[in-house]
Amino acid sequence: MELLTIGAFARAARLSPKALRLYDELGLLRPAEVDPVSGYRRYAAGQLERARLVAWLRRLGMPLARIRSVLALEPGAAAVEVAAYWERVRAETEARRQLAAFLVDHLSGRSTTMEHTTGALRVAYAAGSDRGLVRERNDDCAYAGPGLVAVADGMGPQGGGQQAGEAAIAALRGLEAPAGELLNALEDALAGLDAEVGAASGLPGAGTTLTAVLWSGSQLALVHIGDSRAYLLRDGELLRITHDHTLVQSMVDEGRLTLAEAASHPQRTLLVRALTGSGDSRPDVSLHAARPGDRYLLCSDGLSRWAAEEQLHAVLAAAPDPAEAVRRLIALAHGAGAPDNVACAVADVLPGVAGAQAATG
């Protein structure tokens, strides 16, 4: 077998000798031979393909630990793993893109200008919750009021779930965000939210999901943890804008399960994240550009699990106002047998401006 020196192999693989030494230490790519006296590493020509794959995956930004697991897979399974990795990068980049756009506006003073010209957002809203046809108790909560719409799906014994859900929503209701400070105010409020929820329910095993839309001035933010969902109807299209924090969704993300398999998986309701009072759970939070004509739907899984997305779309597109949309959505869950509690909230971003600020701006 012809062996290459580390320098020759590095040139052929387009990796540095330093990188090759690191990959050896991490067990990613062992030299074919290490001279017992000099310690010189030599590589076989047949190892080039593996080395190039490592180099390509590094260029993709994949962490070394994840590369090691890709290298251990058959090509087909490795392809699925790379696709899953890229989907996650894409989702994270999208969240960061929104934050970057907000910061550019903020730092260039455009957000201030925007508030003077467009004034505060005007939003119409409604919310409703229903026990359904099977459950004995309603542990879902829904809220709609000035500056906030929210749903929470509580879980746990003796009504603790409902207390947890109500506490989570109450914490956001009291939020005071000065103009342009919504994100900062939220970050502060969410830091202690999980512990607050735990203290409010007072029962071990109680917890809740929380999905909320908040607005202040011209800013609109989304808060989300668990498997309740937020959808956005914009330009006639319905988009889901939250990611389920469920075990099956993470298996789909990792390429270990298809969407169809996830829908019938025995553990499909198992959450990987929720507010459980342990003190270390924290919802995702993001700012969104609000556009007149946008309609937001927040709902618990008691609606999204039993109604098809096309049905939600049809109701949201046709209902004349949020209150009517909420009535029709709860009727939709009943039409599917309403096996679970249902909560939903609908918020419309209205055209035009809100009085005082616009009149002076």
Residues that bind Mn ion (CB under 5 A): 153, 300-302, 340
Q: Closer to Mn ion at the Cβ: 154 or 322?
A: 154
Neighbours of 170 (CB within 10 A): 15
Q: Closer to Mn ion at the Cβ: 198 or 302?
A: 302
Q: Closer to Mn ion at the Cβ: 81 or 340?
A: 340
Neighbours of 11 (CB within 10 A): 13
Backbone angles phi, psi at 24, to 5 degrees: -65, -50
DSSP secondary structure, 109-144, as one string:
THHHHHHHHH-S-EEEEEEEEE--SS-SS--EEEEE
**Nearest residue to 183 via CA among 261, 106, 264:** 106
Per the CB < 8 A criterion, the answer to whether 347 and 295 are in contact is yes
CB of 239 to Mn ion, least distance (A): 22
Tell the residue number behind the tokens 């879980």, with chain if given. Answer: 155
CB of 199 to Mn ion, least distance (A): 23
Q: Helix, strand, or coil here: 34? A: strand
DSSP state of 100: H
CB of 344 to Mn ion, least distance (A): 12
Q: Closer to Mn ion at the Cβ: 62 or 303?
A: 303
User: How far is CA 36 from its chain centroid?
Assistant: 52
Per-residue CA distances from 42 to 32, 51, 111, 160 (Å): 6, 13, 59, 64
Q: Closer to Mn ion at the Cβ: 13 or 206?
A: 206
Structure tokens at 325: 């949309």
CB of 227 to Mn ion, least distance (A): 8
CB of 335 to Mn ion, least distance (A): 17
Please state, in angstroms and rounded to a whole number, the distance separating the CA atoms of residues 56 and 25. 19
CB of 25 to Mn ion, least distance (A): 48
Q: Given the DSSP bridges, would you call strands 33-34 and 3-5 parallel, antiparallel or unpaired?
A: unpaired
Q: Closer to Mn ion at the Cβ: 25 or 136?
A: 136
CB of 240 to Mn ion, least distance (A): 17
Q: Closer to Mn ion at the Cβ: 141 or 167?
A: 141
